[in-house]
Chains A and B, each alone.
Chain A
């Protein structure tokens, strides 16, 4: 028999979340993306920056034929030679390059010791880009950028937003007025323009993009936290903590914040999705993460020219679909979370 003790908010929310098909789909897609991003080196044939110029702009499911030549400068990164045919005759490797020119290499010049090590017929599932780089590899490594931008930028935004919102909601009065003034000023700027402006100030790059997005996106969080704190502060248990003489920091951190966690998590999920869009927008216009680091935004930009002429559309379409999928999954999950944590619809 079950105890009469009420389940915690989180247990109930989790149970409701699991019943929400959309949220479950969102979680599964996100989970898969995170796994792919983590094990990226294991599932990609080439590094995202490896160029095979002979294989520039190949369609999806293109199968290459390459030899690996020893690279004395970097033993771990053999030079890649695209071939049409090749054969091993005694101590030398004979091959024709894509232009039909015959060449010969001594086996000591090859990477490794056996043909298995120096020859491969890699499959480019999503084709290649202008520089003959593996689109699939760029997509997966781009996912790393997008997921980390979501995580880190949203982390920065949460830090600023929670701090300011909590201070405003807890102390009210002058502190609240001052913080709300700053919030209103920042809120007046369209966020993407703020991100662009901060990117111009901070310069281009990986970390700059993270910071620019983070310090532009805290306003909604601050507003939500402030609103939550306004009502939580009236609760009896908060009154009790004050009667005990707890410090403000302890009351805010240990007693009030955990009770405002639901709405914060919901808005953080939405912010995660927005951060991904912002990063892609930044690299789409040439700010943010710089080449050759793969980013979905810059990949879409690279492929855009092909859209207008209607050939090789995959170069722009694949990263677009990947981004849409990631953001859609996050929003599905966020919507489910909101419903699951909404006390108005809460039933045991």
Chain B
């Protein structure tokens, strides 16, 4: 068990190093200083900026400096605002986390519930309706879902505000949260359904039925428990993708999280900010997945082999 955990951890660390190196190259090609200052900038100010950004050093030196700075928690300085990138990110993270976590909780609970219903009523109209709607949910990008929700619940019915943050009241959370939940909800419902159907075909379920246990009891106690494994993978794998989706939602709903920072950064080619956000999201993904792997090691003895 200990070797398994250690192996997993070491591999994750090595992957993280690769992630950092790849992130390093996410900057304007050629001479970033020239790109930032424009074609008409004079040689002197370009040279000054190159020196300030450390671009006058050879690439290997730049990379090692980048890694070294990261270990000290220094992700660089935003070109547009001149503020520390890590400081900006930590300041904005609570808003993003609130949105991501609340919609993931909503998506998981509702998704498992809907998936179980669909499996319970497999091959009936309930099942096909649920599957059809969830396929639509997968097909719609978040900003399109946002558009329809804003139009219906924000503008026509005026139930919830269209934009803004919870400082103006918790009702501001409703539309962005639902928007963000639609896609993972659809996927979780589909995974739960097919996993349930798989499990229901297993011998031990038949045995449980043959023992004379009631159908609901078999369904919930024997089948659902075993069907949840793939659901755990889906939820953890989705969490990082969800972060990226959150950024779009923030942009649409004017939600003051990391997404607003990165989209402002794109317009100004503020690459330290873009690198910071990309790296931050990837690190969260690696951490969440490592935890999910470790969790698997505990839940399912087969994995440890």
Contact A310 B155 (CB under 8 A): yes
Asked whether any CB of chain B lies closer than 8 Å to the CB of A38, the reply is no
Q: Is B278 an interface residue (CB 8 A)?
A: yes
> Do A285 and B251 touch across chains, with their CB atoms under 8 A apart?
yes
In angstroms, how far is the closest chain B Cβ from the Cβ of A347?
A: 16
CA distance A316 to B252 in the complex (A): 13
CB distance from B36 to the nearest CB of A (A): 12
Assess whether B28 is in contact with A201, with CB atoms less than 8 Å apart. yes
Q: Is A196 an interface residue when CB atoms closer than 8 A count as contact?
A: yes
**Contact assessment for B266 and A280 in the assembled complex, using a CB-CB cutoff below 8 Å:** no
Residue A34 at the chain B interface, CB threshold 8 Å: no
Query: Which of A273-290 touch B at CB < 8 Å?
Result: 273, 277, 280-281, 284-287
Q: Report chain B residues within 8 Å CB of A184.
A: 15, 18
Interface string of A305-346 (1 = CB under 8 A from B): 001111001001100100110011011100100000000000
A189 B278 Cβ-Cβ under 8 A: yes
Cβ A313 vs Cβ B135 within 8 A: no
Contact digits for B63-93, partner A, Cβ 8 Å, 1 yes 0 no: 0000000000000000000000000000000
Q: Say if the beta carbon of A240 comes within 8 Å of chain B.
A: no
By the criterion CB–CB under 8 Å, are B141 and A323 in contact?
Answer: yes
Q: In the complex, how many angstroms separate the beta carbon of A319 from the nearest chain B beta carbon?
A: 9
Q: Please determine whether B274 and A188 come into contact, CB atoms closer than 8 angstroms.
A: no
* A341 → B minimal CB distance (Å): 16
Q: Does A207 contact B (CB under 8 A)?
A: no
- Which residues on the A side are within 8 Å of B15 (C-beta)? 181, 184-185, 188
Query: Which B residues from 120 to 142 make CB contacts under 8 A with A?
Result: 132, 135-136, 138-141
- Is there an interface contact between B150 and A331, defined as CB atoms closer than 8 Å? no
In angstroms, Cα B140 to Cα A182, docked, is 30
The distance in angstroms between the C-alpha atoms of A331 and B141, with both chains bound, is 13
Which one, B147, B241, B248, B285, contacts A320 given CB within 8 A?
B147
- List B contacts of A202 (CB < 8 A): 29
User: Does B215 sit at the interface, judged by CB under 8 A?
Assistant: no
A226 to B283, CA, bound (A): 25
Given contacts A189-B281, A285-B266, contact A201 B144 (CB under 8 A): no
Give the distance in Å from the alpha carbon of A323 to the alpha carbon of B132 in the complex.
17
Sort chain A's interface into a size bin: 35 or more
From A198, A281, A307, A324, contact of B150 by CB (8 A): A307
Q: Which residues of B contact A332 (CB under 8 A)?
A: 135
Nearest Cβ distance between residue A27 and chain B, in whole angstroms? 15
| B 233-247 contacts with A by CB, 8 A | 240-241, 243-245, 247
**Majority-rule SS of A interface residues:** helix
CB distance from A314 to the nearest CB of B (A): 11
Evaluate whether A190 and B22 lie within 8 angstroms (CB atoms) in the complex, with A200-B269, A200-B271, A287-B266 already known.
no
**Chain A 173-191 interface 0/1 with B at a Cβ cutoff of 8 Å (1 = within):** 0000000011011101111
| Residues B148 and A328 in contact, CB atoms below 8 Å apart | no
Note all chain B residues with C-beta closer than 8 A to A304.
147, 252
Is B267 a contact of A320 with CB atoms below 8 Å? no
Residues of B within 8 A of A197 (CB): 26, 274-275, 278
Q: Could you give, for residues 249-292 of chain A, a 1 whenever the CB lies within 8 Å of some chain B CB and a 0 otherwise?
A: 00000000000000000000000010001001100111100000
Question: Contact between B151 and A300 (Cβ–Cβ < 8 Å)?
Answer: no
The verdict on A192 contacting chain B, using a C-beta distance below 8 Å, is yes
Docked Cα-Cα span, A273 to B163, in Å, equals 29
Task: List A81-104 residues whose CB lies under 8 Å from chain B.
Answer: none
Closest to A202 in B: B29
Question: Nearest chain-B residue to A309 (Cβ)?
Answer: B155
Q: How far is the CA of A332 from the CA of B139 in the complex (A)?
A: 10
Give the CA-CA distance A145 to B231 in the complex, in Å: 36
Complex: A201 Cα to B28 Cα, angstroms: 5
Chain A residues in 8 Å Cβ range of B154: 308
Q: Which residues of B contact A73 (CB under 8 A)?
A: none
> How far is A327 from B281 in the complex, measured between Cα atoms in Å?
26
Chain A residues with Cβ under 8 A from B266's Cβ?
196, 200, 285-287
* A189, A201, A284: most-surrounded residue (chain B CB, <10 A): A189
Whether a CB of chain B sits under 8 angstroms from the CB of A193 is: yes
Name the residue on A nearest B237 (C-beta): A187
Q: Is B263 an interface residue (CB 8 A)?
A: yes
Q: Within the complex, which residue of B144, B162, B277 is in contact with A324, where a contact is CB–CB below 8 Å?
A: B144
Q: Which residues of A contact B151 (CB under 8 A)?
A: 307, 310, 313, 317
State the Cβ distance, B52 to closest chain A Cβ, in Å: 20
Q: Are B139 and A273 in contact (CB under 8 A)?
A: yes
Docked-complex contact B150 and A286, CB < 8 angstroms: no
User: What does the 1/0 interface line of B12-27 toward A look like (CB < 8 Å)?
Assistant: 0011101100100111
| B13, chain A: closest CB distance, angstroms | 12
Complex Cα distance, B140 from A320, in Å, reads 9
Whether B281 contacts A324 by the Cβ 8 Å rule is no
Does B199 have its Cβ within 8 Å of any Cβ on chain A? no
Contacts of B286 in A (CB 8 A): 188
Instruction: List 16 other contacts, CB 8 Å, given A185-B18, A188-B282, A196-B262.
Output: A181-B14, A181-B18, A188-B289, A189-B19, A189-B282, A190-B240, A190-B281, A192-B241, A193-B278, A196-B266, A197-B26, A281-B248, A286-B267, A300-B147, A307-B155, A317-B151
Residues of chain A at the chain B interface (Cβ within 8 Å): 22, 181-182, 184-186, 188-194, 196-198, 200-203, 273, 277, 280-281, 284-287, 300, 304, 307-310, 313, 316-317, 320, 323-324, 327-328, 330-332, 335
B residues adjacent to A (C-beta < 8 A):
14-16, 18-19, 22, 25-29, 132, 135-136, 138-141, 143-144, 147-148, 150-151, 154-156, 162-163, 240-241, 243-245, 247-248, 251-252, 262-263, 266-267, 269, 271, 274-275, 277-278, 281-282, 285-286, 289
